[in-house]
Amino acid sequence: MSKPLVSIENVSFSYEGQQDPALNNISFDIYEGEWLAIVGHNGSGKSTLAKLLNGLQFPQEGTISVCGITLSEETVWDIRKNVGMVFQNPDNQFVGTTVQDDVAFGLENHGVPREIMVDRVQTSLDKVKMGTFLNQEPHHLSGGQKQRVAIAGVLALQPSIIILDEATSMLDPRGRAEVIETVRELKTRENITVISITHDLEEAAKADRIIVMNKGKLYREGTPEEIFEMDEELIKLGLDIPFPVKMSKKLRQKGIGLTKSYLTEEELVTELWTSHSKM
Partner 1 sequence: MDISLKNVEYRYQADSPFERLAISDVSIDIPSGTYLAIIGHTGSGKSTVLQHLNALLKPTRGSVVIGSREIRAKRKEKNLKGVREKVGIVFQFPEHQLFEETVEKDIMFGPMNFGVSEKEAKARARAAINLVGLSEEILEKSPFDLSGGQMRRVAIAGVLAMEPEVIVLDEPTAGLDPRGRKEIMDLFYSLHKQKNLSTVLVTHSMEDAARYADEIVVMHQGKVFTKGTPELIFSNPQALIELGLDVPEVVGLQLRIEESFKTKFKKISLSEDELAEMVAEFLEGGGLK
Neighbours of 27 (CB within 10 A): 12
Q: What is the DSSP string of 29-59?
A: EEETT-EEEEE--TTSSHHHHHHHHTTSS--
Closest to partner 1 by CB, 48 vs 124, is 48
Residue 186 carries which DSSP code? H
Told to check if 278 binds partner 1 by CB under 8 A, we report: no
Binding flag, residue 137, partner 1 (CB under 8 A): no
* # of chain residues touching partner 1 (CB under 8 A): 40
- Measured at the CA of 47, the angle between CA 164 and CA 54, to 5 degrees, comes to 65
Q: Which of 45, 55, 90, 143 binds partner 1 (CB under 8 A)?
A: 143
Residue 4 binding partner 1, by CB under 8 A: no
Among 42, 73, 111, 189, binds partner 1 (CB under 8 A): 42
| Helices within the chain (DSSP H only) | 46-53, 76-82, 99-109, 114-127, 143-155, 173-190, 201-204, 224-228, 232-236, 243-253, 265-278
Residue number, 81 or 246, with CB nearest to partner 1 = 246
Q: Which positions ≥6 away from 262 have C-beta within 8 Å?
A: 244, 245, 248, 268, 271
Residue choice 175, 179, 216, 245 for contact with partner 1 (CB under 8 A): 175
Residue 136 as a binder of partner 1 (CB under 8 A): the answer is no
Phi, psi angles (nearest 5°) of residue 40:
165, 160
The contact pattern for partner 1, residues 58-87, with x = CB under 8 A and - = no contact, is: ------------------------------
Question: Whole-number minimum distance, CB 189 to partner 1, in Å?
Answer: 27
**The only residue of 173, 189, 232, 278 in contact with partner 1, by rule CB under 8 A:** 173
Per CB under 8 A, does 258 bind partner 1?
Answer: no
Q: Which of 7, 14, 75, 88 binds partner 1 (CB under 8 A)?
A: 88
Is the CB of 100 or the CB of 198 nearer to partner 1? 198
Q: Which residues of 229-257 are buried (b: 16+ CB within 10 A; e: fewer)?
A: ebeeebeebebebbebbebbeebeeeeee
Torsion of the alpha carbons at 188, 8, 210 and 144, rounded to the nearest 10 = -60
CB of 201 to partner 1, least distance (A): 7
Residues of this chain that interact with partner 1 (CB under 8 A) are 17, 40-43, 88, 142-143, 166, 169-170, 172-175, 199, 201, 235, 238-240, 243-244, 246-247, 250-251, 253-256, 265-266, 268-270, 272-273, 276, 279
